[in-house]
Structure 1
Amino acid sequence: MTNAYVIVGAGLGGAKAAQTLREQGFTGPVVLIGDERERPYERPPLSKGYLLGKDEREKIYVHTPQWYAEHDVDLRLGTRVTAVDPAAHEVTTADGGRLGYAKLLLTTGSAPRRLAVPGADLAGVHYLRQAHESDRLKDAFQPGGRVVVIGAGWIGLETAAAAVSAGAHVTVLEAAELPLLRVLGREVAQVFADLHREHGVDLRPSARIAELTGSAGTVDGVLLADGTRIPADAVVVGVGITPNTDLATAAGLAVDNGIVTDEHLRTSAMDVYAAGDVANAYHPFLGRHIRVEHWANALNQPQAAARVMLGEDVSYDRLPYFYTDQYDLGMEYTGYVEPDGYDQVVFRGDPASGEFVAFWLAGGRVLAGMNVNVWDVTKPIQELIRSREIVDPGRLADPQAPLSSSAG
């Protein structure tokens, strides 16, 4: 099947790439391979609506079960690809099967970083990346239960909010001084620290984990480096993710914090492309390679890669975008800021009120914006960023001034 377009990684990205190939008129064989047994699904609900019990399971899936057959997509679930041979244009699966390809797209995603302390393998220690793990968390979050969350990133904070909503007593342990400090900076990270403490979370910054303690093979506490022991009925670990690059590395592709691609999502090997969490792609607007681990990138970048595979001249230059829902806080973030890559934060509205927009500036230019419980401003924020114009901080901070008039 040497004329096949093969996609390795049957998550949101792989499913949207297959859909795009068909929508753009490709009539040749499309093979979508995934090592999970679940058909392609979206991951944000696993720590949001589905975990909270607000969304039915069927809502997580990208397509209906019938869609793949109806669109002649050969969906191979529970199948692990063990090798890629760019010279032979061939992939090998764990059962020894070989499959030729004309074009290959890697949407292999990422995996949670594992906690490397004694006791990390005890029962009752949870990670969250797959649907069955969200199911286990639902069972673990019980009224009056003691939940310890290690890591105050997006997954850690969203699971903490879900545990609180289920009636559990929640402790969050974070190595940094504030949650999300590297992502948001001190000024805005404080908003999330205050939010969780207001909802009864015992947030402990600058925490160092020494050991997870257990009884009869099940976790019962977290021991800190200072000797403090925190009782736990369940522990959630959210200390970041690592791109799944083993296949690419073994195949000789350029890998550096992900699979390196150009702005067209082409890798260093002919006819091999990468998209989603695993891709460290050159971004034409930002003028650098970036790897984005959020839903919007997994949704949109593989669609661009599919069009490039079909011969279209497409560059992926969407600004990074992500969102979160925690308690009564809804947030959207647009743009890109390196840690410590800004020199000013401007607030439009009072963060204490729960409704505001924050802007990160460098040299008077807007790099990113985050709207909290303020809606329909993503497009003007994008326009401000793309304009690269010097803004007037006073007008930017004025809720009555149109964002389009904030340029100085």
Structure 2
Amino acid sequence: MTGTAGLPSPANLALSRKEDFKAFADGPRRTQPDVLTHAQLKALSPQARADYNRSRREWHANLGPLRTPQLAELHEDLWDIIDSNLQDGDKAKGAVAVDAFPGLGKTTSVLAFAREFHRREIAEQGEFTAQGNERVPVCRVGLTGNTGMKDLNRAMLEFFGHPGRHRGTTAQLGQRALDCMLSCEVRLLALDDLHFLKWRKTNGIEVSNHLKWIANEFPVTLLMVGVGLADKGLFSEGGTKGDAVMAQTGRRTTRLGMRPFTIETEKNRQEWRQMLLALEQRVVLTGKHPGMLVDDLSDYLFARSTGHIGSLMTLINRGCQRAVRSGEETLSQDLLDAVKNDEASEKARQELEAALEKRRLTSRPRPAHRKSA
């Protein structure tokens, strides 16, 4: 299956390969299907209705990324860091670690940034280097469970499809990866799920040494994404010799986080409402109406997602799929009650629901703020 202009289908991409990442970065944005009326939907032929429903299934499964305040804040920080990393190759560049709990949109936000950076670099410098090699501004590596240093080097070579990726020592694989980065003028190396690396010692000295070598020798901004990286010891400092090794990584690495949505202040509630407004505009259901999410379901959706955008997007996606399949064509509490969500949000929802029902908490801004929005 292919997408627009012969590109691979977006549903059939593996972003750990440069051809697929390029297709992801260069491909056009999805086109939102039209919202039909009930009469228009009923008037469709069986084939046309099947095609329309399929386009909606794909659309609802890919509603993001939304430009939430969290994503905007992260992107601004990333632009600051990567644009300041224009030092010559003899100088080590500052690294970034996006370290936050699951379900807050770390990977989605980083991929959105990597896409923007790729497009900017290609637009400014062209698709080929001065030596005639393919320009690859971003190398993205997704790590697997219990990955070692040799596995990491091999994964970087897999991204480029290097013929020497299957054999060699850790050092040899690392040198081949460096050659690829230099030839293709990679400027951003994104390592996703860094917590999957083997942390054989509690202070992670082996991991830190290898990442420090990459930061020193590769002319790239190292962007690490993971959960509990601080607890793993990535940024630790202390009095021992091992901790001194870690301290250098800590000094060179900027830690960025992502916060969940909260409803503790008026500003927090306004952010939640604006995000629901943006999400409501993207829902393609014939029974959709203004306020379906922001007025009718605001408290309910916050309780079901506990302010984690990953859980919210999963719930909305699954709810839309059921609304189309069942013919209800709208999102309601009754429909969403039948939709299962991730285990973490389901376990945390009861206490939140009780507080919201008793009006001890609310996700809705005051009317004056709502009107101005």
**TM-score, normalization by structure 2:** 0.31
Larger strand fraction of residues: 1
Larger helix fraction of residues: 2
**TM-score, normalization by structure 1:** 0.29
Which structure is richer in relative contact order (CA contacts within 8 A, separation 6 or more)? 2
